Amino acid sequence: MEALKPKIAIIGVGNVGSTFAFSLMMSGLAREIVLIDKNEILARGECMDLNHSLSFVHPTRICTAGYEGCENADIVVITAGANRKPGQSRTDLVKINVAIYKEIIPAILRYSSDAILLVVTNPVDILT
Average pLDDT, 10 consecutive residues per value, the chain (128 residues): 84 96 96 97 97 92 98 97 88 90 96 95 84
Q: What is the CATH number of domain 2-122?
A: 3.40.50.720
Domain-by-domain residue ranges, the chain? Answer: 2-122
Task: With beta carbons less than 8 A apart as the criterion, state whether 57 and 47 touch.
Answer: no
Question: To 10 degrees, the CA torsion angle through 60, 64, 68, 74?
Answer: 30
Rounded CA gap, 121 and 76, in Å?
Answer: 13
Output the pTM of the full model: 0.93
pLDDT of 124 reads 86
